[in-house]
Chain A
Amino acid sequence: MPLRHLLVGSGPASIAAAEAIRSRDLTAEITCIGAEPEGYYSRPGLAYYLAKEVPEGSLFPFTDHDTDALGITFVPGTVVSLDRAARTVTLESGRTLPYDRLLLATGSIANPVHVPGGDLDGVVKLDDLRDARDLARRAGRGKAAVVVGGGITALEIVEGLCSRHVDVHYLMRKRRYWGNVLSETESLLVEDGLRQRGVEIHYDTRLAEILGDRGKVTGVRTESGDTIHCDMVAVAIGVHPRVELANDAGLECARGVLVDEFLATSDPDIYAAGDIAEVFDPGTQRRSLEVLWSSAVAKGRIAGLNMASGPIHAYDGGAPLNVTRLAGFKLTIMGTVGGGEDSDLEGIVRGDSEAWRQAGEATMVESQAGDAHVRLALGTDTIVGGVVMGDQALSFPLQDLIGARADVGAVIERLKEPGAPIARIVDDFWTEWSARA
């Protein structure tokens, strides 16, 4: 009898798992259950949809033909319970589906804001396509918005609303944007970029209350007693993995669903991948969360291979990477680059890796190189992290060197010299290194 693989969630982790299972087993039954009726789409692409750079229809990477060719059955619906003894899941509709191997890939969801008025009509977030449509519908000339939070999503909302001619007020609890990942210079570059787009930044400002009239947002009151009038309040203060299903079924969970390096949960027939997987790395002895598309794909693939063939493929988180655009700057973040807390955020955000904030003792060097601002986090004889802002040419060699944990001992002292031409040193080193490799 063919093995029955059930995938809960229709994001990139499940899709990558389905492809991996099919690559090993032509006869397996693969069923994907997704709470969003739209199925699989590019969640990060929502930012570009909001900024009017791509139409909604283009956010869907797979056609029905592709899913048919892969032999996946898509079942729309929300899984409400998991019976591990019977090996079944039950949907909200009451339908029960059996499995031999189960993948949990339910993603993450925005943290709600806990202030009076937090449930008014006009308090918005950006988790999914429905939210993006809602934001687009509410936006327009003559409207005003207050955005609270940080990380990538807050700025994607800010920029999307700016593209739709909304007057945007961005509230920051302290004096720096994304202070536990970016350097002071990088934060300043982003903040300047936002001001150039017409965004009003309110520093040292905490939201005290969201004001409303007849159930609808009319403004906010800050802790210092100021009032800002607005039509919507967008909240991006962080996300948390959706672990309820796993938790209720008695699987070991902490912030996410705990998995070993093979991405198996505490039940060997159940795997977890994507945003919800809190992975144990035997190398660092650390568990970490990542809310990254590329990590979701990589974890999905490994989980799928192991679901099809048994736990033999280990996940290597390597140097997590994200490329994004903040206030018009392309920005690549690689490896470990920061540390500490950011008062605008609760825990992890989207497009974020906890590994980025484990720079510890690393020495930071940064410089402007042509159209790029480059920062390196230097370990004893490796580059443990890097941030490239603006022109991205140097980010590719850096990605190679950081990912391979290349020994850069020969140039490390030169990189630390004040005023060192960092970009040139790295590029020259990489050219020789890659020729040798």
Chain B
Amino acid sequence: MGAFDWFRSDRAKSEALASAWVVPEPTRCVQCGICSFYCPVGIDVRRHVWRGEPVKDSRCLTCGECVKRCPRGLLRFEKAGTMRRLSTRRGR
């Protein structure tokens, strides 16, 4: 199971809700807008990616819709406050 599948599990989601935010890998983004289009609360996720910032918006439900929809897989959940990425180890 890869890191992204790992996140899709319910347990991972509830853990993320408590402690994670969405972080981008901006070099992979082509600003297609799918993330912003599917955000249920209307956060402009794409703009966060352009600026290379995590989605710290208080409205973020950490629902994972943008993470799941991004056609380039550049959005990930990461523990709030850390800047490092998910290790592939998590997927094992």
Contact = CB atoms under 8 A, between A and B. Distances in A.
A394 B85 CA distance: 11
B88 A60 contact: no
A45 B89 contact: no
A391 interface: yes
B40 interface: no
Interface in B53-92: 71-74, 84-89, 91
Interface stretch (A179-187, A219-227, A319-327): A319-327
A325 B71 contact: yes
B3 A393 contact: yes
A391 B25 contact: no
B32 A48 contact: yes
B72 A396 contact: no
Interface in A301-335: 321, 323-325, 330, 332
A43 B32 CA distance: 8
Nearest to A390: B2
Contact of A59 (B4, B5, B29, B32): B32
Contacts of B89: 427, 431
B37 A55 contact: yes
Given A321-B28, A393-B2, A394-B88, 19 more contacts: A42-B30, A42-B32, A45-B32, A45-B34, A54-B32, A54-B33, A58-B34, A58-B37, A61-B33, A294-B28, A324-B72, A325-B72, A370-B1, A391-B3, A392-B4, A392-B73, A393-B86, A423-B88, A427-B88
Interface of A: 12, 42-45, 48, 53-55, 58-61, 293-294, 321, 323-325, 330, 332, 370-372, 391-397, 399, 423, 427, 431, 434
20 contacts: A44-B30, A44-B32, A48-B34, A53-B34, A54-B32, A54-B37, A58-B33, A60-B33, A61-B47, A293-B31, A325-B72, A330-B72, A391-B2, A392-B4, A394-B88, A397-B88, A423-B88, A427-B87, A431-B89, A434-B84
